[in-house]
Structure 1
Amino acid sequence: MTNFHISLGTEVADALRDGRPVVALESTIVSHGLPRPDNLRVAREIEQAVRDAGAVPATIGMVAGELIVGLDDAQLTRLATVDGVSKLSVRDLAVAAATGADGATTVAATSAVAAAAGIGVFATGGLGGVHREAAQTFDESADLVTLARTPIAVVCAGVKSILDVGATLERLETLGVSVVGYRTRRFPGFYLTDAGFDLDWSVESPEQAADVLAARRDQGVHHGGLIVANPLPVDEQLDPALHDRTLATGLAMLARDGVTGKAVTPFLLAHFHSATEGASLAVNVRIILRNADLAARIAVASAARRTAPSA
């Protein structure tokens, strides 16, 4: 009988057993979020950023139906280079495993799998959220409801600016998902430093973020996810005027071509890459590398806090 359990890479299994810091990483950025051949190079750079900050990277994906936490380089290369890799949210995981698929995990799936494996910190670029025109289409990312029930800290640059940012923040509040800014009280908009919305809370250091995670554990109250919103410095963001023009043309193309559902985000990201002549790709890479570094520092601080002797 086939076994469909989650497989741990050797390095990740050793780190979790020893209580060392581990950071979960998604694989959709490898298969769907970045163009070839940059995707594989950047995926390796993301893992290296986690290592450089003192943690073990655990890129999550599915190879031939096997759900793996901690892809090795050959597996990572496969998801980056072969055609037909499925984009897997939580609802897709069992079906994809049973049918022997190759698949890349979204934020929702990565969060759920990481938490099931005992990993408490996850780095990504930007969250999914409520799509524009959601009042008519009911189009909302599974990231939001998954984070409502998954105890994991997600370091991100806010939600993608192609979404309805205000509605997404409202949904996160309703779902009980905590949001803190990293050294800011303004919510970032992925490509943009500031999406135009205030935040109630901020943390000033990786250690303070780790204290939040410790408080959540110690209180014994059910908590869902914690979003640590890490904005790009103003001088590293995409030019706001260029962003607004590109978004407007991209939304018009969506309507013209009838693109809906989970195809929307990769469509618009590809449009941004093309229309900005690669500028958005460079920003995207800066975002994920900065988030990987911060997530690793939070994981290191959290591991140190757990192993510190009691006062």
Structure 2
Amino acid sequence: MSNQDLELVSVTKRYGATVAVDAINYCFKSDSYTCLLGPSGCGKSSTLRMIAGHESVSDGSIVLDGRDVSHLPPAQRGTAMMFQNYALFPHLSVLDNVAFSLKMKGVDTAKRHAEAREMLELVDLTDLAARLPDQLSGGQQQRVALARALITRPQVLLLDEPLSALDPFLRIRMRGELRKLQKELGISFIHVTHGQDEALALADDIIVMNNAVIEQAGPARDVFNAPQTQFVAQFMGGHNVLALPDGHFAIRTDAVSISAPTDGAVEGNVTAIEYQGTHVSLSAMITDNQEILALIPDSTFFANPHTPGDRIGLHWDSKDQHKLTA
């Protein structure tokens, strides 16, 4: 670990008898984009809020740049938080919203406005500096919130479901902007989301949380392609989880092909067909009432279409059969 890194050391959060985060350990790299991913109630938002200083740590330490920041107030940690609802001041201009934290520190007007304009240039909002928040679109408000968080020059930017309020088209555009900004700034972004697509699109590293612990963490491609547990395989999507004679396995849905029933194929009955544009999703029931999903290119499927009730053969390469540890 380099001094710039952020490390969680046996970090625990208890609310009365409920353990929300259970002694987790992780080292965030200083120049990486990391997504904390998991279902509601898994502990990801509590973890982010403890890093920010908005929740106290019940046990363990949060270490940034070689110092334990666990008991410091948010403004003294070297982190900045961007909230889900943006929390902009409705009566302040865009410029004064961005400059607000510097005003609280006693920075004079000319200096704080100069820094705020620098941040607005970074997020491409220079022309809107005089507007009020309710005169902005959702995407513009988000960029103001981003500029306001970045003006404190944090070592780590914390983002709590920042894209959830945006429409799907804008969400995709903002993903690109966040990723570009993180690379330009070269600081650590830690982003909480429950969206697998969002995490895969943004993250260098993904941490999957479940029931207050880290279920799996690592490079985004590794977590998707090589899930270690049944939970991760199913939560990340794109995988079948099958109980076979020698254990549980994850098999990517796009690695499954279909044919007429033949020797060597796993036989099943088609239960559902769903056209998805470039692909057709075909569900089939195989032995032991297990369902398997095949994602088939639309041209392949329509060259030899099937309907529910058809008996088919299902094939996959043994190299695409990934053994799960739990």
Task: Determine if the TM-score, normalized by the shorter chain, exceeds 0.5.
Answer: no
Q: Which has the larger share of strand?
A: 2
TM-score in terms of structure 1 length: 0.27
Q: Which has the larger share of helix?
A: 1
- Which one has the largest radius of gyration? 2
TM-score in terms of structure 2 length: 0.26
Structure with higher RCO (Cα < 8 A, 6+ apart): 1
